A and B are shown apart, each in its own frame.
Chain A
Amino acid sequence: MDDPGHDHDANPEGNPVPKRQDIVRIARQFIGAIPFSRAVGMELREIGEGWARITMPYSAELVGEPSTGVIHGGAVSALMDTCGGAAVMSHPTGPVSTATIDLRIDYMRAATPGQTITAEATCYHVTRSVAFVRAVARDETGETPVATASGAFTLQRATSGRLGARSSGSVENATQNEEHRSAIP
C-alpha cells in the first residue's frame, strides 16, 4: 500500500486532541464493550499513539484443525482486526469511530497449540477519512510471526461535522462500512 511519509505527530487543522489517559481509557472500553472480543478473551495490553497490543489466550473452542489443535485462522483474523481498530482509535488525531474497509492476512505458520497469541498493530498513516494499518501476530515461540496483516480502515474525526456526527440509526443506507463497531460504548 502507499506509505507517503509517516505523520504520527501531525495534528492537522489544530483539532482538539484528547489527552493520553483518555485515549487509553477509550481504547480499553473499546475492547471491553465488544461482546465477541470478550467471548474469545481478548485483552488490551498496551496502547500508544496509533499503536496497540492485544492478546488472545489459547482455547479449545478456537481450534480449527482438530488433529493438531491449531487455532483457526479466522480467530487470528478477528484478533488482528480488533487490534487494527484499536490502533486507529488511538491515533493522535483522536478519531471517534472506525470500521474495517479491507484486511489482508498472510498466514506464515501454524500457531503453537496452547500458547497465547499477541497481536501488535500500527496505524502508520491517516488521511482525512482513511487509516492505513499493519499488524503482526505472534505466539510465545520463535522469531517468525504466526501471521501478518495489512488493511485500510475508515476514520471518523471528532470535529469533521459531516461524517463525524454519530450515525446512530440508519444502518440500512450505510454508504459502506457504516462502522461495524465504534469507540463509543
Chain B
Amino acid sequence: MSARRPPEPVGVVKERRDRALQRLVSGVPYIGFLGIEFDRHGDELTAILRFSDRLIGNPSLPAIHGGVTASFLEVSALIGLSWTWLWEEIEAGRLNESTGAMPRLPKTIDFTVDYLRSGLPRDAYARARVNRQGRRYASVQVEAWQDRRDKLFAAATGHFLMPKTPGTAPDTAQ
C-alpha cells in the first residue's frame, strides 16, 4: 500500500483498469478470432464467448466444438492469471498501459479439460481462479457455464510458467 494520497476519482481508476484489460486482450489475435470478450467488476473478470456458427463442432445437435471450449477455458485462465499478476502494477499506475509494451503472457505448461455437458449454441461464460501463483509457476482453475451459473458445461485446470518481467515481481497475489 502506498502512502496516503487523496483517492483518485472513480472515472480515472476505471479507465486505467479498462485500458489495461483492453490492451491485454486485444493484443491476442486468437481471442478476437474466437470472439471472446471480458466483463470486469473491480478485479473480477468474466470471459464471454459470443456464439457464432463457425464455433460449431457438431452440426447435427448443434454443439460448440470441444476445441473451442478448451480454447475458451485456456484463454480465460491465461487472461485471468495475467490480470491477477498485473493487478498491483495497474493499481499503482506503474504499468504504462497506454503506450508501453504489455508484459508477455504466461506460458501454458499443461491444461486439462473436463467436458461436462455439450456446449449449446448460445453464449458461454467462464471465470478463472488462481489457486497458487509463485514467481515461476502458477496453478489455475476455470469453470464455464451457459444458462445457469451452477450448471457447468466444462471445467479445467492448468499450470503456467510466469514471465520473468513486469518491472516488479508481484508476489503472492490472490
Contacts and interface: CB of A to CB of B under 8 A. Distances in A.
Contact of A181 (B58, B74, B104, B105): B58
Contact of B61 (A39, A61, A85, A180): A180
B63 A180 contact: yes
Contacts of A80: 67
A176 interface: yes
Size category of the binding interface on chain B: 35 or more
A103 B67 CA distance: 10
Chain B interface mostly: mixed
Interface string A45-83: 000000000000000111111110001111101111110
A104 interface: yes
B46 interface: no
A174 B118 contact: yes
Interface stretch (B13-21, B49-57, B87-95): B49-57
B117 A36 contact: no
Contacts of B108: 73, 105, 107
B29 interface: yes
A121 interface: no
Contacts, number: 169
B109 A107 contact: yes
A178 interface: yes
A184 B60 CA distance: 8
Interface string A26-41: 0000000111111100
A64 B28 contact: yes
A61 B118 contact: no
Contact of B117 (A71, A168, A174): A174
A34 B74 contact: no
A61 B33 CA distance: 6
A36 B150 CA distance: 27
A93 interface: no
Contact of B107 (A34, A104, A107): A107
Contacts of B64: 180
B174 interface: no
B137 interface: no
A75 B71 contact: yes
Q: Which of A34, A80, A106, A171 has the most CB of B within 10 A?
A: A171
A122 interface: no
Contacts of B119: 180
Given A72-B74, A78-B68, A103-B70, 4 more contacts: A38-B54, A81-B67, A177-B115, A180-B66
Interface of A: 33-39, 60-67, 71-75, 77-82, 85, 99-107, 110, 168, 171, 174, 176-182, 184-185
24 contacts: A35-B54, A35-B56, A38-B54, A66-B27, A72-B28, A73-B108, A74-B70, A82-B66, A101-B114, A102-B113, A104-B110, A104-B113, A105-B112, A106-B109, A107-B111, A171-B61, A174-B118, A176-B117, A178-B63, A178-B117, A179-B118, A180-B66, A180-B118, A181-B63
- Closest A-B pairs by Cβ, 6 of them: A78-B67, A74-B71, A181-B58, A36-B65, A72-B30, A104-B112
